[in-house]
Amino acid sequence: MPGEFELIARYFQRDLSGAPGVLLGPGDDCALLAAGDGMQLAISVDTSVAGVHFPPDAPASSIGHRALAVNLSDLAAMGATPRWALLALTLPEVNEDWLHGFAAGFHALAERHGIALVGGDVTRGPLSITITVHGELPLVLEDAGHPDSVSRPILRRDGAREGDLVVITGAPGMAHAGLKAWQSGTRDVLDPCLAAYLRPEPRVEAGLALRQLASAGLDVSDGVMGDLAHICRASQLSAALELGELPLAPELMAALGEQGAREAVLNGGDDYELLLTMPEEHLESAINALRPLNLSLSVIGRMQAVEGSEPRVILEQEGVEQAAAGRSWQHFPPADATEVSS
């Protein structure tokens, strides 16, 4: 049985000599990091708890992948380049098979996105994974002469303007279907919905490609309705969502039917697509920017002025508001901590 330090060395220490900005990696009291000139740091931390955010019996490599993916997704949502990660791991026991799988899933995704694991912690207790990620983005994001250029960075939630399009990357909803499949006993990790749940793909390159074009954005982790409402509140605007424009992946339709697929997009969680607003004249450039990534971009609505007292998300079908839509589409509540979800 390896001791704590051997375990860290065996599973988590990597050669970081090529990693940008890493002056000192794991092994000392702190890591030492240097941000590039003219860059600002984007920092985020997320905890994944077994039985709350992921099924404890999920494949260890998926747990490692997923725990990092949800963090990388936050960097993607700011249009930041991933740089450095810290991993605080709480383990019920030292199970080397499990650790091997976990580390493989973690490192494979980390390498793909060029994020260096520069430190962390290992403790004993119920399985839980806390990851802090650091990304870099330019300090001045727009024309330096623009008065707002430093104070209003790209891809914040509060930058949407009236008339902006609401767009979403990829095929949301699949992860929700995947969670349901897992809960009903499916263990075929090649099932596309289950794969979307267990191994979500953080949209890091998309965030980088779109940060100049989008006015606001976030990563969707709790369904389009709830997450678009965050943009609405931050930007003090409402949004009209067209039901008929929601992208419904064939695999999602096959798993849940059309109605279920819509619900999964609107209120399902765990997808980590990017939900953005942008001026209509940027749409073509945005679609072209995502083409090399093989990633689609769907226009699903438009930002509009607030009528009444509060910003809200209005569901429309062919332009007609759906009566009591907020209820009728809420057949299952947004993710909460009582079920396995995030």
Q: Which residues bind ligand ADP (CB under 6 A)?
A: 8, 12, 26-29, 87, 89, 117, 119-122
Counting contacts by CB under 5 A, is residue 4 touching Mg ion? no
Stretch that binds Mg ion, among 121-129, 130-138, 193-201, 226-234 (CB under 5 A): 121-129
* Integer Cα distance of 241 and 262 in angstroms: 12
Stretch that binds Mg ion, among 116-124, 211-219, 272-280, 284-292 (CB under 5 A): 116-124
Which of Mg ion, ligand ADP, none lies near 234, with the C-beta cut-off 5 to 8 A by kind?
Answer: none
Which of Mg ion, ligand ADP, none lies near 306, with the C-beta cut-off 5 to 8 A by kind?
Answer: none
Strands 116-124 and 128-138: unpaired
Counting contacts by CB under 5 A, is residue 321 touching Mg ion? no
Q: 67 or 154: whose CB is closer to ligand ADP?
A: 67
Q: 29 or 318: whose CB is closer to Mg ion?
A: 29
Counting contacts by CB under 5 A, is residue 121 touching Mg ion? yes
Quote the least distance from Cβ 122 to Mg ion, whole Å: 7
Scan for tokens 């508001």, then name that residue: 321
Which of Mg ion, ligand ADP, none lies near 57, with the C-beta cut-off 5 to 8 A by kind?
Answer: none
Q: What's the chain's Rg over C-alpha atoms?
A: 20
Q: 121 or 245: whose CB is closer to Mg ion?
A: 121
Which of Mg ion, ligand ADP, none lies near 250, with the C-beta cut-off 5 to 8 A by kind?
Answer: none
Near Mg ion in 10-39, by CB under 5 A: none
* Integer Cα distance of 266 and 225 in angstroms: 5
Cβ contacts of 205 within 8 Å, gap of 6 or more? 293
Query: 3-state SS of 200-234?
Result: CCCCHHHHHHHCCCCCEEEECCCCHHHHHHHHHHH
DSSP H helices, the chain, are 4-11, 60-78, 96-112, 174-183, 192-198, 204-210, 224-235, 250-267, 283-290, 325-328
The full length of the chain comes to 342
Quote the least distance from Cβ 158 to ligand ADP, whole Å: 35
Quote the least distance from Cβ 112 to ligand ADP, whole Å: 18
Which of Mg ion, ligand ADP, none lies near 28, with the C-beta cut-off 5 to 8 A by kind?
Answer: ligand ADP
Q: How many CA atoms within 13 Å lie on the side-chain side of 16? A: 25
Quote the least distance from Cβ 71 to Mg ion, whole Å: 19
b/e sequence 85-114, b meaning 16+ C-beta within 10 Å: bbbbbbbeeeeeebbebbbebbbebbeebe
* CB-count burial class (<10 Å; 0-12, 13-18, 19+) for 292: exposed
Q: 121 or 148: whose CB is closer to Mg ion?
A: 121
Element housing 33 (H / E): strand 32-33
* Total residues binding Mg ion (CB under 5 A): 1
Which of Mg ion, ligand ADP, none lies near 29, with the C-beta cut-off 5 to 8 A by kind?
Answer: ligand ADP
Q: 54 or 102: whose CB is closer to ligand ADP?
A: 102
Quote the least distance from Cβ 164 to ligand ADP, whole Å: 41
Which of Mg ion, ligand ADP, none lies near 8, with the C-beta cut-off 5 to 8 A by kind?
Answer: ligand ADP
* Integer Cα distance of 35 and 317 in angstroms: 48
Inter-CA distances, 272 with 137, 143, 217, Å: 20, 30, 12
Q: 116 or 290: whose CB is closer to ligand ADP?
A: 116
Q: 101 or 192: whose CB is closer to ligand ADP?
A: 101
Question: In the complex, which residues of this chain contact Mg ion (CB under 5 A)?
Answer: 121
